[in-house]
């Protein structure tokens, strides 16, 4: 019985040993095959970094005001007899807008003209009599005074009549009409807003740190969400002498051309104050950057010769960089990258240093300094 158990134990041991020997051979073969295995190259999009010049500007938010704008009001009281404009009309300087009732003034004017004519006739007659020594010099002086008073009264009534004819003070565009036919107006009652919008003021604030960079005639660009894609150009006309003690900002005013009157008073706009000196940058697409807490990096594509095949291959090298300002789809690299080096621009999170790649930019999106939409 013991002999049988011993034989069985030896048989099992031999069987297990054979199995282990076979498996070890298999694992060795797999390891040797794995060491000789080469992964296929990864297909990537790429961008070659080149030195560029970026226009420098100071961004700000601003509000629009009219270069000339008034609320047309009644200078004299009276009943509206005629309205000669419609809301949103364009008018010329001196154009009649509203006519008030002048029946009383017309009657007074006729009476004053007659009185002035009578005073002049009396003066002429008195001067004839003084030649004959029939009246004194005082009578002539009094007659001259009466003539001047009568003529002055005529001018007063004419001025009163003129105030009842309400005209446009300058050429521009009218707002919404605020009077009606037959309405009784008092002095100062509003009639309509009048604004000249062919050129507008754009007022904005700039931090005091930028004050030394400001100067009259500096160019500005204005953009509004009311007119997407359209740019209005202008220049600085005034920089305030005082700095706001609360915000430490200085008020700046620019005049902007507005030929189609698309910018309106009170509108909110974005301003770019263009600085005279451009900045030299080494820009790459922002998608090329692998952002990480321990440092930002890019994958640079180097060309290396394969010692076995003799072929030139494209191999990745992870390079840590320092970033500067970002603009649109681009970011400026201030350190870590050289002019002319090519970097991967897509899928950088799945790459590793030393990998082989093939460049295919067929479907790569084209980066832009002014992308649309802006947050792309």
Strands (E), 1-139: 42-44, 46-48, 50-54, 57-73, 78-83, 90-91, 96-100
List the structure tokens of 94. 């001196």
Distant-in-sequence, close-in-space partners of 106: CB < 8 Å, separation ≥ 6: 161
SS3 (DSSP) at 120: helix
Q: Mind listing the pLDDT tens digit for each residue in 245-304?
A: 999 999 999 999 998 889 999 999 999 999 888 889 999 999 999 999 889 999 999 988
CATH of domain 58-65+198-274: 2.40.30.170
pLDDT of 348 strictly over 90: no
Fold that domain 102-163 belongs to in CATH: Helix Hairpins (1.10.287)
pLDDT of 156 strictly over 80: yes
3-state secondary structure 241-276: EEECCCCCEEEEEEEEECCCCCCCCCCEEEEEEECC
pLDDT of 183 strictly over 80: yes
pLDDT of 296 reads 93
Fold that domain 42-55+279-359 belongs to in CATH: 2.40.420
pLDDT of 208 strictly over 80: yes
By the 10 Å C-beta count (0-12 exposed, 13-18 middle, 19+ buried), 277 is classed as: exposed
Closest to 348 (Cα-Cα) out of 50, 41, 39, 42 = 42
Query: What's the rounded mean pLDDT across residues 312-333?
Result: 90
């Amino acid at each position: 019985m013991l002999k049988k158990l011993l034989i069985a134990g030896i048989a099992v041991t031999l069987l297990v040993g054979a199995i282990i020997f076979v498996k070890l051979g298999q694992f060795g073969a797999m390891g040797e095959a794995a060491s000789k295995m080469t992964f296929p190259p990864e297909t990537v999009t790429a961008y070659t970094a080149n030195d560029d010049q970026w226009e420098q500007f100071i961004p700000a938010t601003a509000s629009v005001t009219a270069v000339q704008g008034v609320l047309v009001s009644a200078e004299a009281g009276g009943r509206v007899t005629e309205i000669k404009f419609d809301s949103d009309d364009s008018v010329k300087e001196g154009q009649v807008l509203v006519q008030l009732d002048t029946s009383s003034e017309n009657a007074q004017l006729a009476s004053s003209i007659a009185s002035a004519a009578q005073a002049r006739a009396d003066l002429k007659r008195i001067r004839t009599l003084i030649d004959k020594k029939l009246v004194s010099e005082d009578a002539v002086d009094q007659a001259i005074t009466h003539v001047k008073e009568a003529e002055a009264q005529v001018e007063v009534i004419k001025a009163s009549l003129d105030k009842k004819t309400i005209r446009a003070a300058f050429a521009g565009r009218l707002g919404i009409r605020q009077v009606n036919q037959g309405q009784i107006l008092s002095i100062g009652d509003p009639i309509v807003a009048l604004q000249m919008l062919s050129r507008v003021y754009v007022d904005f604030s700039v931090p005091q740190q930028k004050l030394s960079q400001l100067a009259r005639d500096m160019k500005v660009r204005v953009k509004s969400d009311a007119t997407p894609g359209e740019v209005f150009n202008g220049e600085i006309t005034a920089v305030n002498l005082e700095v706001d003690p609360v915000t430490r900002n200085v008020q700046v005013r620019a005049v902007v051309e507005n030929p189609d009157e698309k910018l309106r008073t009170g509108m909110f706009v974005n301003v770019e104050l263009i600085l005279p000196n451009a900045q030299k940058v080494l820009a790459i697409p922002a998608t090329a950057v692998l952002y990480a807490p321990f440092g930002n990096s890019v994958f640079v594509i180097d060309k290396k010769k394969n010692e076995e095949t003799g072929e030139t291959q494209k191999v990745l090298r992870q390079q840590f960089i320092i970033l500067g300002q970002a603009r649109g789809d681009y970011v400026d690299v201030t350190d870590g990258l050289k002019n002319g080096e090519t970097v991967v621009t897509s899928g950088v999170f799945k790459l590793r240093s030393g990998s082989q790649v093939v460049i295919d930019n067929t479907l790569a999106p084209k980066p832009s300094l002014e992308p649309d939409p802006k947050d792309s």
